[in-house]
Each structure stands twice: as structure tokens, then as C-alpha cells.
Amino acid sequence: MAVPLFDTRTPLAPLREALAAKAVEVLDAGNYILGPEVAAFERELAGYLGAPAALGVANGTDALVLALRAMGVGPADDVVVPSFTFYASAEAIALIGANPVFCDIDPVTYCVTPDTVRAALTPQTKVVMAVHLFGNIAPVAEIEALGVPVLEDAAQAAGSRTADGRHAGALGSAATFSFFPSKNLGAFGDGGAIATADEALAETVAMLRFHGSRDKVTFELVGHNSRLDELQAALLRLELPLLDAWCDGRRAAAAHYAEAGLAELARLPEPIDGCDPAWHLYVIRHERADELAAALTATGIGCKAYYRVPLHRQAAMRPWSEVELPGTDEAARTHLAIPMSPVLTREQAAAVVAAVRDADLG
Ligand SMILES: Cc1ncc(COP(=O)(O)O)c(C=O)c1O
């Protein structure tokens, strides 16, 4: 049985007619930038997260750039960031002239720990960027207890909850989301958001996304043109009420893998501190990950090594590459994403596990 790495279309099928009708409504309304749909989506997203404010922006990368700037990060400041994450996490820091200071992760959870962050702090550290990688939830409160504000990169963690029921994205000083189509909450193009409880920070983000202006005629900051499109916001509003059910589907998929005996064949990702991750990607570890990938691919099972070269070893990050990160190196060498989606069935999970077993790689 062939199983795709992810499935963005099947979960959307029940919404097809509503999405089409909404798209026509927005086209007819003729209000395409920062209109009522964006305002409503921002209210609804904030309500869902339990965060006082959410602001839509053009994508998850811009969300990081604007949030960092609104948190006061500028040239020559240090921002602690994991090396085992998508490139945008560190790129956003370098883009505003600050220094990404790479810290290690725990390869069992793929996230930073208070100890790995502590080891990377410098007198110039302005912010710690805690990435909730693959849907796991980095320990934000413990990191803030070190005395530095935390920016949550929650691009991969929409719908993940802590053990006490709080949402990823409502834990730190600010948080960012990506609505890239394959994300847990995916748009039909690019989109992103910033959530925060800090009113002044929200006000600065609102200015930064519109050229540093409050009123569109006077300009207080050198800003950006970074808005969530009205059309994307309108469609995301229809999806948001389904997000929890989709996340439950992701959790069920992880349970199917466990029931089928995957833990006997590979190391499984572990939730941090009893949290309930909405696994965006389901990423196992295996000593012979590339051979396993070749065997799975040959049987039609989708799989991918997302971060085989961690960020501190990427060419563009050379100025900040002088660090030893053993947990990162181990995760980079051994990780492999296997199929995950809200609609992954027990039979599909069993087929994936059978293919891992048949690969017979020990
Ligand atoms: C961890 C992480 N941070 C940031 C981003 C950037 O989001 P976007 O692609 O919407 O710019 C992504 C998305 O791919 C991501 O996975």
C-alpha cells in the first residue's frame, strides 16, 4: 500500500463548497487588504489560542521578523535559536542584523531545553526563540525563568496543547504561526500570524506590517509590507473550527503507529512534560535513516529527512557556526519523517510499520 508523506486535500473535502462560496463572496466584496475577514480571523485565532491579540501577516517568516523587531531586537543583539529547525527561524534573526546564537536540542524531543538555552546565553541575548518543532512544545516557562523573553516559533504547532491545556502560541512574550498550505492550519497560499498578550508589542506589529504607519499617511517606523490577504483570512476562518478535530486525527495517527509496534523498530518522538502535541510531522530516529528512507521510498511510503544539514552547518550561517551541538548532530543524522496527516488510517500506519519491519535494518 502506497502512503503519502502528508495529505492536505482529504481533510478539506468536507469544506469544499463552503470554501468556494466564501471565495466568491470575498471576490465580490472587493475589499482585499486588511478588511473585515482579516479582523474577524484575528479575533477568532486569538480566542482559540487564549491569547489577547493576534495579527495576520504575509507568512511565518515575516511573522518572526516583525515579532523580533517589535520585541526590540536589532543589529548586534544576540538571539538564541536551535540549529535543528527550518532555516527561516535563524534567517529571520540574521535578516534584521542580529546574531543567531545556535543552541542544542534534546534529540528525543527535537526541542531546546532550559540547559541547552542556558549554555548559549550571552550578555547580548535579547530574546530566546523556542521552536515548537514538529508539534512538540518547548518548555517556555522554564526558559523564561532564565530571565530572557521567549518568542515561540509555533509554525509547526498550531493545535498543540500543554499538559494543563494551554495552547502553543500563548505561552511566551510573543508567538508566530505559519499558514503555509501543509501546516496544521494551512491556507491556500502563504500566510502567517503573531500572537501576544503584550498590547504595545501588538501595536508595533500592526504598524510594522503596514510600512510603520498607524494611519497609512504618516510613517513612524521603517516597516514592511506584510499582510495576511483578506481571501486567505476568509478561508482560514472556515478551517479554524476544524483544527482541533484535525489535530485529534494527527494524535490518532501517532497512536496507530504505536499500536502497530513502531517503537520496536525505531525511536519515536516523545512529548515534553506531558504535553499533547498535534504532530505536524511524525519524525522517528533510526541509526540507518538513509537506508530506511530508500527502502520506504521503494515501497511507495513517503518519507523525508527535513534537516539532515542543521543550520549551524549551512553556508549562509558561517559567521555563527563555531559551536558544538551533539544533540543536534545526532537528530540531524538519524531523523526521518514518515507519513502524518489528520486522516492517516490504522491500515496506512500498519502498512508503514510493516515496510519499516520489512526493511530489516535492525
Ligand atoms: C519552524 C518554522 N519556522 C518558520 C517557518 C516559516 O514559515 P513560512 O514558510 O510561512 O514563511 C516555517 C515554515 O515552513 C517553519 O517550519
Could you give the CA distance from residue 33 to residue 237 in angstroms, rounded to a whole number?
16
Could you give the CA distance from residue 69 to residue 208 in angstroms, rounded to a whole number?
9
- Compute, in angstroms, the gap from residue 179 CA to the centroid of ligand 1: 8
**Where does the pLDDT of residue 149 fall: very low under 50, low under 70, confident under 90, or very high at 90 and above?**
very high
- Helix (DSSP H) and strand (DSSP E) numbers for the chain: 12, 9
How does pLDDT run across 85-97, given as a tens digit for each residue?
A: 999 999 999 999 9
DSSP secondary structure string, 90-144? Answer: HHHHHHTT-EEEEE--BTTTTB--HHHHHHH--TTEEEEEEE-GGG----HHHHH
- Ligand 1 within 6 A of 180 CB? yes
- For residue 192, the ligand 1 atom closest to its alpha carbon is 10
**Which three three-digit cell numbers place residue 348?**
496506512
> Where are the strands (E) in the chain, listed by range?
53-57, 78-82, 99-103, 125-131, 150-153, 174-178, 192-196, 282-285, 335-338
Could you give the CA distance from residue 180 to residue 338 in angstroms, rounded to a whole number?
19
State the pTM of this model: 0.98
Determine which residue's CA is closest to atom 7 belonging to ligand 1: 60
- Ligand 1 within 6 A of 86 CB? yes
What pLDDT, on the 0 to 100 scale, is given for residue 353?
Answer: 98
Residue 362 has pLDDT above 90, yes or no: no
- Ligand 1 within 6 A of 84 CB? no
Could you give the CA distance from residue 232 to residue 77 in angstroms, rounded to a whole number?
34
CB atoms within 10 A of CB 200: 9
Return the residue matching grid coordinates 523556542.
130
Residue 154 has pLDDT above 90, yes or no: yes
- Ligand 1 within 6 A of 153 CB? yes
Residue 110 has pLDDT above 80, yes or no: yes
